[in-house]
Amino acid sequence: QAGLTQPPSVSKDSRQTATLTCTGNSNNVGYQGASWLQQHQGHPPKLLSYKNNDRPSGVSERFSASRSGNTASLTITGLQPEDEADYYCVAWDTSLSGKVFGGGTKLTVL
C-alpha cells in the first residue's frame, strides 16, 4: 500500500516555527485532504488536525494545518520542548479504498 511522503526528521530551535509537509497524490491528499497526528514516545497518537484543517477541542492554536494541491502541511509556531514528537499525516485513498499514512516526521526541538 503506497504511503504518503513525509520528511523523516526536522530540527528547529525552541520558539521558532516548524512546517512539516505530507505529499500524496490526487487520490488521497488531493482528494479530501489529510489529518495530522502527534505521537510522543510510548504513547498512542493524538489527533492534532482534522482533514478539513480544523483543530480538535483542546489542541493549541500554535498548531495549524493547510493544503495546497496534493501536499498537506502542519505549521507549529512558538516551538516548545513538549512539541518534540513524531508527527504523522493520514488520508483516505480512493484508488486503494483504504487509509494511507505518511512515514512520519520526527520533530526535534533544540
3-class secondary structure per residue, 24-72? CCCCCHHHHCCEEEEECCCCCCEEEECCCCCCCCCCCCCEEEEEECCEE
Q: Does 98 bind another protein (CB under 8 A)?
A: yes
What's the gap between Cα 36 and its chain centre? 4
Residue count, binding to another protein (CB under 8 A): 25
Minimum gap (Å) between residue 108 Cβ and another protein: 16
Binding range to another protein, per CB under 8 A, among 20-28, 59-67, 68-76, 101-109: 101-109
| 36/53 Cα distance (integer angstroms) | 9
In the block, residue with C-alpha cell 526535534: 108
Minimum gap (Å) between residue 58 Cβ and another protein: 11
Q: Which 58-97 residues touch another protein, going by CB under 8 A?
A: 86, 88, 90, 92, 96-97
The mark string for 33-62 relative to another protein (x by CB under 8 A, - otherwise) is --x-x-x----xxxx--xx----x------
| 94/73 Cα distance (integer angstroms) | 20
Residues near another protein, by CB under 8 A: 1, 32, 35, 37, 39, 44-47, 50-51, 56, 86, 88, 90, 92, 96-104
